[in-house]
């Protein structure tokens, strides 16, 4: 019975006298204690009551309610809201300044974009499309975000007089 295969090659328990060549690598094992990464196990913060010392935790305080002045005294002002108003929409207070939307994409909104429908010789249909006009304002968000930007080469050509 030593050299004969057991069963029909389904899982059979390993003979304890045989040398086990497979040992789990703790670095790649899931759910094993003693992993290399501390974050793999997760962290559960200690449970503690929140806002126990704040107003409105007892029944009497809830019946009396807080005045508006008491509520506003607890609020913190927004940091930097009025300190640096920036230069307009699209300006982030923590940046040196960023261009506005019209400076990037142009002011005129594009309409529905329709790709090449196979008329004529094949072109780069992935990058070319024709603006067929706004379809009653029922554009998808992606199409509504498209604006027409003047190409620098076109601007130079328009200013050129022979």
In angstroms, the CA 109 to CA 135 distance is: 12
Residue 72 pLDDT greater than 80, yes or no: yes
pLDDT exceeds 70 at position 29? no
Q: What is the pTM of this model?
A: 0.25
53 band by pLDDT with thresholds 50, 70 and 90: confident
pLDDT digits (tens, 9 = 90+) for 92-123: 665 555 555 555 556 677 777 777 666 666 65
Would you place residue 68 in the very low, low, confident or very high pLDDT band (cuts 50, 70, 90)?
A: very high
Helix (H) or strand (E) holding 108: strand 108-109
Q: What is the pLDDT of residue 112?
A: 75
């Amino acid at each position: 019975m030593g050299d004969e295969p057991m069963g029909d090659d389904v899982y059979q328990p390993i003979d304890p006298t045989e040398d086990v060549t497979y040992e789990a690598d703790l670095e790649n094992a899931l759910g094993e204690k003693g992993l290399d990464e501390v974050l793999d196990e997760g962290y559960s913060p200690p449970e503690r009551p929140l806002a126990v010392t704040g107003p409105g935790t007892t029944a009497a305080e809830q019946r009396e309610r807080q005045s508006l002045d008491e509520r506003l005294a607890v609020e913190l002002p927004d940091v930097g809201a009025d300190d640096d108003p920036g230069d307009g929409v699209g300006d982030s207070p923590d940046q040196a300044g960023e261009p506005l939307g019209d400076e990037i994409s142009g002011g005129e909104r594009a309409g529905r974009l329709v790709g090449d429908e196979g008329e004529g010789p094949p072109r780069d249909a992935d990058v070319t499309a024709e603006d067929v006009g706004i379809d009653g304002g029922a554009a998808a968000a992606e199409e509504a975000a498209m604006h027409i930007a003047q190409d620098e080469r076109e601007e130079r050509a328009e200013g050129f007089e022979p």
